[in-house]
Structure 1
Amino acid sequence: MLTAVATAVDEPLTITERDVPEPGPGEVLVKIIACGICHTDLDVLQGRWPIAKFPLVPGHEITGVVAATGPGVSFPAVGTTVGAQFLGDSCGHCDYCVRGDQILCPRKRITGIVFDGGYAEYAVLKAGFVTPLPEGLDPVAAAPLMCAGLTAFNSLRQGKITANSRVAVIGPGGVGALAVRYAVAMGARVAVIGRSRRSEAQAREFGAEKFIATQDTDPAEALKAWGGANLILNAAPSTEAATATLTGLAPDGWLVLCGYNEDPLILPTRTMVLNRLHVMINPSGSPHDTRDTLAFSAAHDILPEITKVGLRDANASLDAMAAGHAGNRSVIVFD
């Protein structure tokens, strides 16, 4: 099978042939249809994930068809179209796992970081961590829903938005664009915050009522003039961008980060105390969150804007992402 292998930090992917693996107990072999290229993949290759185990096949936005099942697996059956996500395994018995919060398991294992992921024609995955796709959902366009979509959708839920909540989304890129569409579908009023007005037309097309360009306007002051945001979702890979908006929260509001970098998050303590503000960094989601994300996406016809690429194009796509020129979400498609 054709495979892209990360051999070490700061080295390009090596395209090579490997034997098709066999699933063990509790595992399924998935013939991959598509795998999204996520910013986390770039972070792994640039050494920002010290838990990464090289050599490694990256990729955790996976869709495909179950080709074989290992001993003890009765679900999903061979022939089922499934998706696989960032969270690839957990211990199954800690308090978090038994509550359905496997993403918080201290012994969780991450797809494409500690075991091989989706930059290959086949992958062996844990049966309990793959999710059947809803009928009619395009598996190629749906691949980024397994991380970008899941993260956006679950971040909005963690922020406890309701109908008519004022939601501000920082970063109109892949995760942010999905967050805008999800929030609008949930009945929220949405503002989008970007550095320039380049993405304003698309944001308004997706249902945003307000666009704030930080090169022209202080985002926190603009949010205050809007009435204050009940939830600010930072989808930009910048902690500083989130810090700049925090005082624009309404009382009892939430700042949820699904994008960040190594800069510290600076909190205005007195403002937070007087207004009972909340801050959370959301790490993707658990299997039940994935099911909910896919069902909601199918019900509301929410799919990302994607660019299809081949496996041999993965290095070029990652280089474009590193340079800030990625455009639509790149998805590796296997014939």
Structure 2
Amino acid sequence: MRAAVAEGVNAPLSLIERDVPDPGAGEVLVKVTACGVCYSDLNLLQGKYAFARFPVIPGHEVTGVVTAVGDGVTFPEVGTTVGAQFLYDSCGHCNYCVRGEQILCPRKRITGVVTDGGYAEYAVFKAGFVTPLPSGLDPVQAAPLMCAGITAYNGLRHAGATPNSRVAVIGAGGIGTLAIRYAVAMGARVAVVGRSRRGEDAAKAMGAELYVSTDESPAAETLKTWDGGADVILNAAPSSTAAAETLGGLAPDGTLILCGYSAYPLSLPVQPMVLNRLRVMASPSGSPHDLRDTLAFSAQHQILPAITAITLDEAPETLDAMAAGRARGGRGVITFA
């Protein structure tokens, strides 16, 4: 099989031939249909994950078809179309795992970072950590839902987004665009925060009622005039500063949730937080049950991301464009014939 391998930090991807792996006990072999190219893959190559293990095949936004199963596997069956996510597996016995919150397991392993992922024609995954795709979801377009989708949907749920709540989304990239569409489908009122007016028409087309350009006015001040402020602010931008500067736009009892961040420390004004009972939290993707919910909601409301289909050979070029801020045309998704 063909695969792209990350040999180390700041090293180019190597396109190689490798034997198709065999699934072990409790594992499934998946013939990969598609794999999204995520900014986390770029973080891996840039050395931002101290726990990474090289060499490794990147990719954690994977869809494909189960072609073989290891000992003890009765589900999913051969022939099932599945998705594999950021979370590869967990210990299975800690307090978080037994509650179904495997994403919080201290011994969790991350797909495409410490174990081989989807930049390959075939990949092996743990049977309990792949999720069958609902009917109606195209497996190529659905690939980014395995990370960007679950991060946005789960973030909104944990932050308390409800029908008629006011939800502001900072940034309208991969996660942000899905967060806007999910929030609208949940029945929330939505505002979008961007640097310029360039994204206003697209945001309004997705159902946003308010667009805030930070080039024209501070986001916090504008959001505060939106019937008293946002109940939820979801930061999808790769900037901790942008999140902190928007905190003042929360209504009392509001929540700022970080789905995007940068290396800079998060500096927050304590007194307004105390006086208004504000909360700040983060959302690290999700557990298998969260992915199942994300895919079901996406299928029900036909929420799929805009993508650009690419070949495995084009993956290095796509990552270079992302690093240089030149990525355009929707999330890059590697497809395999």
Q: Bin the TM-score by the shorter chain.
A: over 0.9
- Matches of 2:58 and 2:110, distance apart in 1: 10
For structure 1, which runs of at least 5 residues remain unmatched after alignment? none
The one-letter amino acid paired with 1:28 is V
1:230 corresponds in structure 2 to 231
- Matches of 2:308 and 2:137, distance apart in 1: 17
2:130 corresponds in structure 1 to 130
- Matches of 2:212 and 2:186, distance apart in 1: 21
Percent of pairs with identical residues: 68
* Local SS of the residue matching 1:260: coil
2:85 corresponds in structure 1 to 85
- Matches of 1:32 and 1:150, distance apart in 2: 20
Higher mean C-alpha displacement, 192-201 vs 43-52: 192-201
2:271 corresponds in structure 1 to 270
- Matches of 2:174 and 2:317, distance apart in 1: 18
The one-letter amino acid paired with 1:331 is V
1:10 corresponds in structure 2 to 10
1:104 corresponds in structure 2 to 104
* Local SS of the residue matching 1:245: helix
| CA shift for structure 1 position 8 | 0.8
2:203 corresponds in structure 1 to 203
- Matches of 1:285 and 1:253, distance apart in 2: 22
* Local SS of the residue matching 2:198: coil
* Local SS of the residue matching 2:48: coil
Matches within 5 A, 1:312-327: 312-327=313-328
| CA shift for structure 1 position 281 | 1.1
| CA shift for structure 1 position 120 | 0.2
Alignment deviations for residues 308-333 of structure 1 (CA, whole Å, 9 cap, x no partner): 00000001100111111212111000
Is 1:185 aligned to 2:185, yes or no?
Answer: yes
* Local SS of the residue matching 2:139: coil
| CA shift for structure 1 position 46 | 0.1
The one-letter amino acid paired with 2:333 is V
1:241 corresponds in structure 2 to 242
- Matches of 1:199 and 1:33, distance apart in 2: 31
- Matches of 1:82 and 1:114, distance apart in 2: 21
CA RMSD of aligned residues (A): 0.5
**TM-score, normalised relative to structure 2:** 0.99
**TM-score, normalised relative to structure 1:** 0.99
| CA shift for structure 1 position 162 | 1.1
Alignment size in residue pairs = 335
The one-letter amino acid paired with 1:305 is A
The one-letter amino acid paired with 1:163 is P
2:285 corresponds in structure 1 to 284
1:42 corresponds in structure 2 to 42
For structure 2, which runs of at least 5 residues remain unmatched after alignment? none
| CA shift for structure 1 position 200 | 1.0
